[in-house]
Structure 1
Amino acid sequence: MFMQQMVNGFSLGSMYALIAIGYTMVYGVLRLINFAHGDIMMVGAFLGFFGMEVLELPFVAAVLLAVVGAALLGMASDRVAYRPLREAPKISLLITAIGVSFFLENAFNVFFGGVPRAFPVPAYLEEMVEFFGLMMPISAVLVPIITAFLLGIILWILFKTKYGMAIRALAFDVGTVNLMGIDANRVITLVFGMGSALAAVGGIFWAVNYPSVEPMMGVLVGLKAFAAAVVGGIGSVGGAVLGGLIIGFTEVVVVAFFPELGGYKDAFAFIFLILILLFKPTGILGIDFEKSRF
């Protein structure tokens, strides 16, 4: 039973990690907590639902549609809502992020209604497979593998490409980057697009494992992913993944071994957040922002 719950926790934590990476990358570049990020995840889940249910696309094609659509939405939100406030106080950006979040939630509530819609999960993702003697759905095995693969791509972009070098330089000093001939706004837009694409993947697999979509689905998940980013170390991609896994494991283990605490499982993410802020404010893998990024 313990091993079964470990696998379930790894799967849940991987979904949190996908969303937390977007938080930590945007914060690393702009020092902005993008509270609309959880709603980008919701949009990705709805795009996957639309692709499968309305356009009758295969699952992989629907995922690609969701990833591209969410990335474009993330870049558009930066262009319309955040870029005009680059030189404004940080509190203005924070309030704008909350406004974008409310806008997305209410827009989807108006157009699609607040009633949860059943997500058309492909039959092959629900098939049970034996994994080291444990029986589990294919989706539970697939999510951590995809998370590790996407994490590898993000790290490769950050440390092996010119755009990654520009992102890390931008995180140090926007003014100097502009003086060196780099279009800082383009790089920031790329960061928003990358983070939003990862959130869409997380939203799709969240809808697969909890098969429904509704406009408010990203609120609590987004807050937990933010807590994961802070617990692991805000500004660190590896820390975001570690924080997501810790919170995912905790939720699953608490419900499995202490059923009487099941009603409080959502509180544990924020208990971790409070403890980390009290005893290690930079997070488990927290970094010195004067010396390094990501």
Structure 2
Amino acid sequence: MEVIANLINGMSLGSVYAIIALGYTMVYGIAKMLNFAHGDVIMVGGYICFCAVSYLGVPAIVGVLLSIVGCTVLGIVMERLAYKPLRNAPSLNVLITAIGVSYFLQNAALLIMGSDPKSFSTVISLPALQLFDGRLTISSTAVLTIVCCIVIMVALVMFTGKTKMGKAMRACSEDRDAAQLMGINVNSTIAMVFAIGSGLAAVAGVLMCSAYPTLMPTTGSMPGIKAFTAAVLGGIGSIPGAALGGVLLGIIEIFARAYIGTQLADAVVFAVLIVVLLIKPSGLLGKTVREKV
């Protein structure tokens, strides 16, 4: 039962990584940039939900919706103010700007909310599942997190494959200049990508804080790094790859904590990434792109 419990916990943790990684992979796949401030949007989403439920007294579902709306608007504002002026700039400039936006969000949260950890009350009040005559207990948070990950991944695949905006995103991913010549509004398309990615970060932030109820200005830093690792592991730019990489990363981390040790769990996670990239640099589901020079 211990192995099954660890597997379910790993899938739950990995589903949070996967939801965050989906935001990373969409932004990179379409805008061709790494938004390292994405992890801090998770923290902002957690704080919005916390303030709405604790200070305003609204129901949990309303707090979650406010968190999604707030982070969606934040994503659009970040893209317009910080990244749009650097659309044709070298990638190093964009990377430095992303790090700067990350520090800005962390320090803004530090000034507004303080450095004291906030106790985040779970927004999920469903009863736990009891299996095998009570020998295996699965928390409702774990079940809901896994279900949310599956639903979000399927919805994104259908959105990018079936809708007009999704097809515009794929066109921008293939060739931004050609897409613009065909009448696609590249600026609006990229803004929509940031909006979707930031909304997903809000969902991940609420789910993560429900499972690990401590909220600080640096809450999203390590999950953001691991989610980026998951996106690279699965193949950055691939939606199924991001989901697969996140789930695998969560399972590896939980089993490493259980059988190797908490202190070495992160080292094992990144070691697996290095091995995968040495064997298949494009990631598990990534495609190798050949460029003519």
Band of TM-score, shorter chain: over 0.9
Number of equivalent positions:
288
TM-superposed deviation, 1:250: 0.7
SS in 2 for 1:130: strand
Distance 1:289 1:118 in 2: 46
User: Structure 1 residues 75, 287: closer, same or farther in 2, change over 3 A?
Assistant: same
TM-superposed deviation, 1:269: 2.5
TM-superposed deviation, 1:267: 2.1
TM-superposed deviation, 1:284: 0.5
Which residue matches 2:279? Answer: 279
TM-score, normalization: structure 2? 0.95
Is the CA contact 2:48–2:66 (under 8 Å) kept in the aligned structure 1?
Answer: yes
Is the CA contact 2:124–2:210 (under 8 Å) kept in the aligned structure 1?
Answer: no
Is the CA contact 1:247–1:268 (under 8 Å) kept in the aligned structure 2?
Answer: no
User: Structure 1 residues 254, 272: closer, same or farther in 2, change over 3 A?
Assistant: same
TM-superposed deviation, 1:74: 0.7
SS in 2 for 1:114: coil
Which residue matches 1:172? Answer: 174
User: Structure 1 residues 123, 221: closer, same or farther in 2, change over 3 A?
Assistant: closer
TM-superposed deviation, 1:96: 0.7
Which residue matches 1:103? Answer: 104
Instruction: Return 5+ residue gaps in structure 2 as ranges.
Output: none
Distance 2:186 2:48 in 1: 29
1:47-72 deviation line (CA, Å, top 9, x unaligned): 11111111111111111111111111
Which residue matches 1:71? Answer: 72
Question: Which is further off, 157-166 or 172-181?
Answer: 172-181
SS in 1 for 2:125: helix
TM-superposed deviation, 1:276: 2.3
After superposition, where does 1:127-206 map in structure 2 within 5 Å? Answer: 127-131=127-131, 134-206=136-208
1:211-259 deviation line (CA, Å, top 9, x unaligned): 011100111110000000000001101000111011100111122233x
Is the CA contact 1:207–1:213 (under 8 Å) kept in the aligned structure 2?
Answer: yes
TM-score, normalization: structure 1? 0.94
Which residue matches 1:88? Answer: 89
Identity %: 43
Cα RMSD (Å) of the superposition?
Answer: 1.5
Distance 2:45 2:132 in 1: 32
Distance 2:235 2:132 in 1: 32
TM-superposed deviation, 1:128: 2.4
SS in 2 for 1:124: coil
Tell me whether 1:28 sits opposite 2:29 in the alignment. Answer: yes
Which residue matches 1:263? Answer: 263
SS in 2 for 1:217: coil
SS in 2 for 1:135: strand
After superposition, where does 1:194-273 map in structure 2 within 5 Å? Answer: 194-258=196-260, 261-273=261-273
Is the CA contact 1:172–1:290 (under 8 Å) kept in the aligned structure 2?
Answer: no
Instruction: Return 5+ residue gaps in structure 1 as ranges.
Output: none
Amino acid at match of 1:210: Y
SS in 2 for 1:216: coil
TM-superposed deviation, 1:273: 2.2
Which residue matches 1:62? Answer: 63
